[in-house]
Structure 1
Amino acid sequence: MNSAKRIVARVWRLIRGPLQWRVLWLAHSKFMVGVTGVVRDDAGRVLLLRHRMWPPETPWGLPTGYAVAGEEFTATVVREVKEETGLDVKPGALVRLRSGFKLRVEVAYEAHHVGGTLHIDSFEILEAQWFDPNALPPGTQETHRQLISGTGNTPS
């Protein structure tokens, strides 16, 4: 058995670089990374979106989307908020990191509204509004309520 391990180790060292990465890519699980932004304004209100493609009983939630290859997750927050609302944000602390799903990992960051003009992407978003964290609309996703209130968040 030791000789087999030595042979595998020797082959592994010989295929350094892109071929090693290809082997690792083929041998390991692939995940999508969903990134959410808990966007707040200077008054402490939180930005919620009524999503067109979410279940009709829970259409309200935070700006969210999937990271693209090579993108830092904080950049995903900035990009998704801009695409969905036209607003500019500055990402802050990591507030949640969840795994254990079959094909995805979830990441959430605090974010602060710093500018831009509200203009929703009508393909994905039906409505965007600022809400007091203690007065969220009916139909807000439960996990997003938890992110807003800070309950169950991952320490950063």
Structure 2
Amino acid sequence: MDAKALIARVWRMLAGSLQWRILWLKHAKFMAGITGVVVDDDGNVLLLRHRLWPQDRQWGLPTGYANKGERFEETVVREVAEETGLTVEVGELVALTSGYRLRVEVAYKAKVTGDRQPKIDGFEILEAKWFPPHRLPQGLLEAHRRLIEQAIN
């Protein structure tokens, strides 16, 4: 029996949980940055002015990192609620980007449900406003401008 056949035989004999542990040790671990392109019934986009971002690029979409075991759609709902107090329904996937050292970026379109008046958290977020897609503010991250274009077209 050649080495490849022996390795394959041993691999098949291992229990599923042991296989997963070996794969986990061998492969890279990533953080998942999750973004929501939140729109209202009029087609306006929710943008936030983030306190911790560079002063010339503080405007952006609701965004955050997925918690361990959290579905990405759940991350959008949680982050929007934490940052603005708004409730959203998550829709289609807008973008999935990799190539960062230890991070993948995922963006979903989401629709606000119920009250559209944001109640910001005051720590991370300085301001929250609805903008028509054709009148986005100066200081908006270019990557977020592209996500908005992808989501509304």
Q: CA RMSD in A?
A: 1.7
1:11 aligns with 2:19: no
Give the corresponding residue for 1:41. 40
Give the corresponding residue for 2:91. 92
Superposition deviation, residue 110 in structure 1 = 0.6
Structure 2: 5+ residue runs without aligned partners?
A: none
Mapped to 1, the partners of 2:66 and 2:102 lie a distance apart of 13
Letter in structure 2 aligned against 1:145: R
Mapped to 2, the partners of 1:54 and 1:118 lie a distance apart of 20
1:103 aligns with 2:82: no
Give the corresponding residue for 2:134. 134
TM-score normalised by length of structure 2: 0.92
Superposition deviation, residue 25 in structure 1 = 0.5
Deviations 1:51-74 (A, max 9, x none): 111111100000001112222211
Count of aligned residue pairs for this structure pair: 151
Greater CA drift, 108-117 or 23-32: 108-117
Mapped to 2, the partners of 1:145 and 1:130 lie a distance apart of 14
Runs (4 or more) in structure 1 with deviation over 6 Å come to none
Mapped to 1, the partners of 2:148 and 2:99 lie a distance apart of 22
Secondary structure (helix, strand or coil) at the match of 1:57 reads helix
Superposition deviation, residue 115 in structure 1 = 2.1
Superposition deviation, residue 35 in structure 1 = 0.8
Greater CA drift, 116-125 or 48-57: 116-125
Give the corresponding residue for 2:68. 69
Mapped to 2, the partners of 1:124 and 1:10 lie a distance apart of 52
